[in-house]
Each structure stands twice: as C-alpha cells, then as structure tokens.
Structure 1
Amino acid sequence: MARTKSFEPAYALRKALFEFWQNGYERTSTDALAAAMGIGKRSLYDTFGSKHDLYLRSLTTYIEHAEESHTQAVESAPGKGLAGARALLRSRVSLPGCPAGCFAVNAATERPDDPAVHSAVCGYFARSTERIAWLLGQEERWAAARPQQLDRAAQAVHNGWLGLRVQARLGSTDPELDAAADDLLSSLR
C-alpha cells in the first residue's frame, strides 16, 4: 500500500526554490535541499525527481511567481506607459522570505549551457521585453515609433532591469534602486 505524504509538496518546493536562489545549483547539495525542505532524500527523489529536475521545477515556479508579480505591479501603476514600466522595474517576486535579486538572472549566469535553463530564462526574458515594448508603445513619444526602434528601446530597458536585479542581490537599497530605475527611464520621456 502506498504511503501518504507527510509533507506539503508546494511548501517543500518553495523551500527548495529559496535554497537554489540563495546558494545556486552547484553549492546546493541534496542533503542541504532535503534539510531545507524538511523531508528525507528518498521523499525528495520520489516526489521531485533528480536534483536537476527539482532545480528546473523551482526555476519555472519562480518565473510563474515573477510574472504574476510583474502583472500586479503594472496593473496597479498610476497609468500605463513609463509609469507602468517603472512599476515593472521595481516589482518584486511576492513570496515571503525570498532572497534579494532574481533567481532567473542567477540561473542564467550559473547554468548558461543547460538547455532547459536557457530555454526557461530566455522565454521569461523575451516575455518581459515584449511587456516593456507594449508599455513604451503607450507613450505618445513611442506610439509612432517603428517596431524595430521600439524593440531596441525595450531591450535596452530590459538589460537595465537585469542590472537592477544584480544591484538588489548585492544589497542596494530601495532608494538607490528607485533612483536607478528613474535614471534608466529618463531618456525615454
């Protein structure tokens, strides 16, 4: 007879996500994962598969939460256009207790040769860049821009946003990050 799980898989997954986010793939052992998740290694493997499988599931879970947080930030901004873009740049993943920075940026820099990581992160970054382009297109200055111009501007903003995420990971304060976001968008007015 199959045993029932004595843990909540969603809670354990969140703990694994935070462990990978904080320490990276290589510096996170399966022992550390099991301890952080509050489960035995056998339960970890039976429920989540290999360490790599768990890492990918953690990354896709992070991306889902990130995109939800970005949507909420843009929808609650005091307008679209650059106001929405600023809200997007300053949005955070809304998971209690999560580390600073961006797990997707960490994954991209730590595991760029992992095809599954590459695909997940590139897809997320492409969707984010498309959202920025849409927000810029809401501005009168950019409404008549050629698609190529709009795409290049959106890519530049996205690249700056990645820099803000690295600064957050390094401990920059909210006022510093707010000022950097404002500086980034000032040339697009």
Structure 2
Amino acid sequence: MARSKEFEENAVLEKAMKLFWEQGYEKTSMNDLVEHMGIHRRSIYDTFTDKHTLFLKVMDRFGERINGRWAAGIKQSRTAKQALQFIFDSIINGEEDVPPGCMFVNSAVELAIRDEDIDEIATKAFAKSEKMLAEIVTWGQQNGEFTQQYEVKELAEYLQNALAGLRVMVRTSVPKEKLQRIAELNLRILET
C-alpha cells in the first residue's frame, strides 16, 4: 500500500525556493534540500523526480510570486511614475524573510549559458517584465509624465537593463542609498 504524503507540496516548494534563491542551483545539494525542506530524500524524488525538475518548479513558483506582487503594486499606483517607483523600491528593499535580488537574474547568470531550460525560463521572464515596463511607459507617455523622445520599446529595454543591474547589486554590500540614487536617475531620464 502506498504511503500518503506527510507534507504540503506548496510549503516545501516555498522552502526549496528560498534555499535555491539564496545559494543558487550548483551550491545547493540534495542534503541541503532534505534538511531545509524537512522531508525525506525519497519524498523529494517521488514528488519532484530530481533536483533539476524541482528547480524548474521553484522557478515557476518564483515567477508567480514576483508577477503577482508587481501586478498588485502597479494596480494600486495612480501614475506611471508611481508604478515604476514601486518596482524599483520592491527590488531595492526586497521582502521580509526572503533573500535579496531576483532568482531569475541569479539563475540566468549561473546557468543559462549551459542549461536550455533555465535559459528559456529566464528569457521568457525578462520578456514578460519588459512587456509590463512597456505598458507602464505607454501609460506615462499618454498622460504626459514620460518623454516621447524615445520609442516605448527602447525605454522598456533600457528599464529592463537597469532593473537587472539593481537585482544584482542588491545582493552585494552596496548601500541602499546608492541604489535609490540609481533608481531616481532612471526615473528622471524618463520625465518630459
């Protein structure tokens, strides 16, 4: 008779996500996962097949988390500038009880050049972020907040690059004040 699962899959995925996010894929061993997730190695294999498949599920979970958080913040914003400020602030200040930075950026830097699955996930995530930024830039141009000197696509690409850089820098000891100055300059560049 098969044993029933003695854990909630979403809860252990959350634990695995935080560990991979903090340490990266290569540095996280199966022993680390067993200890951190609080389940047996056999349960990990039975539920997620292998470490790589677990990592892909974690990447999906991270995408849902960040997209939901950003969508909610943008929806609450009254102006395009306020929406972008929310995104910059969420990157710089992070969330409580999670590692700094972005799992997509971390994983792209660590693995994308040699792992097609990670490359595809990260590339799609960056494209989705760029699309969201283009929508915000369009909003800002339509209501006169942002310059129309550049095309929406160019500004969205520019912002995506700036956000990727900030996502890396927040994992270092760079002071938040410097990161805020960088964010503020990016917003000033967009103004009319």
TM-score, with structure 1 as normaliser: 0.90
The question of whether the paired residues in 1 share the 8 Å contact of 2:133 and 2:160 is answered with: yes
What are structure 2's unaligned runs of at least 5 residues?
A: none
Q: CA deviation at 1:127?
A: 1.0
Q: CA deviation at 1:82?
A: 2.0
**In 2 relative to 1, CA 59–160 (structure 1 residues): closer, same or farther, beyond 3 Å?**
same
Tell me the percent identity.
30
**Alignment partner, residue 138 of structure 1:** 139
**Alignment partner, residue 28 of structure 2:** 28
The question of whether the paired residues in 1 share the 8 Å contact of 2:81 and 2:145 is answered with: no
**Alignment partner, residue 122 of structure 1:** 123
Taking only aligned residues, the RMSD between alpha carbons, in angstroms, comes to 2.0
Residue 100, structure 1, aligned to residue 100, structure 2: yes
**In 2 relative to 1, CA 89–98 (structure 1 residues): closer, same or farther, beyond 3 Å?**
same
Q: How many residues align?
A: 186
The question of whether the paired residues in 2 share the 8 Å contact of 1:100 and 1:169 is answered with: yes
Q: Which runs of 4+ in 1 moved over 4 A?
A: 92-96, 141-146
Distance in 1 of aligned mates of 2:45 and 2:36:
14
TM-score, with structure 2 as normaliser: 0.88
Distance in 1 of aligned mates of 2:53 and 2:95:
21
- Single out whichever of 174-183 and 157-166 deviates more from structure 2: 174-183
Distance in 2 of aligned mates of 1:35 and 1:47:
16
- Single out whichever of 113-122 and 174-183 deviates more from structure 2: 174-183
**Alignment partner, residue 9 of structure 1:** 9
Q: Secondary structure at 2:170's aligned position in 1?
A: helix
Give the 5 Å matches for 1:1-189: 1-77=1-77, 79-92=78-91, 97-112=97-112, 113-139=114-140, 140=144, 149-189=151-191
Q: CA deviation at 1:170?
A: 1.1
Q: CA deviation at 1:41?
A: 0.5
Distance in 1 of aligned mates of 2:166 and 2:58:
22
Q: Secondary structure at 1:170's aligned position in 2?
A: coil
Q: CA deviation at 1:105?
A: 0.5
The question of whether the paired residues in 2 share the 8 Å contact of 1:136 and 1:150 is answered with: yes
- Single out whichever of 88-97 and 173-182 deviates more from structure 2: 88-97
- Single out whichever of 168-177 and 86-95 deviates more from structure 2: 86-95
**In 2 relative to 1, CA 172–74 (structure 1 residues): closer, same or farther, beyond 3 Å?**
farther
